[in-house]
Amino acid sequence: MEKLTEQAQAALAAVHSGKMVEAGVERVHDGIHTEPTLSEGRTYRLDLVCFGSGSVQLTFVPASAGTEARVPCDQSVVQQRITLHKPLHLDVDGAKGSTGMIAWQIDAI
């Protein structure tokens, strides 16, 4: 898991731009469940990568903040624009049988 964590963080570092607001690394089976402190009316970018096997499901509450997506655990960085008008709850849940590590970062743009 340590090697997957390092690889996932390196993948995000390669695409990083803007001012980092919040970031983390989690096991796929734990998922990501966060309510980041973001300013309403501002635009942010979420960078998300999964290293391992299977896929994860990305969801936003409210749904209008971003686009729901299934993200494969194939080391590809997925980027989402986040526009806020209400507080945000972000979830990333692993599909059944998926394993590995998820790294994510929210940047102000």
Model pTM score: 0.88
Cα–Cα nearest to 23, from 13, 59, 14: 13
Residues 6+ apart with CB under 8 A from 29: 94, 98, 99
Q: What is the pLDDT of residue 87?
A: 87
Residue 28: what residue type?
A: V
Average pLDDT over every residue of 87-109: 94
Q: What is the number of domains present in the chain?
A: 1
Q: What is the dihedral of CA 28, 29, 35, 40, to 10 degrees?
A: 40
Please check whether residue 25 is in contact with residue 42, taking contact to mean a CB–CB distance below 8 angstroms.
no
Q: Exposed (0-12), middle (13-18) or buried (19+): which is 37, by Cβ within 10 Å?
A: exposed
Residue 64 DSSP symbol = G
* CATH number for position 21: 2.60.120
Specify the length of the chain in residues.
Answer: 109
Residue 40: band (very low, low, confident or very high) from pLDDT cuts 50, 70, 90: confident
Q: What is the pLDDT of residue 76?
A: 92
Give the domain extent around 23: 2-108
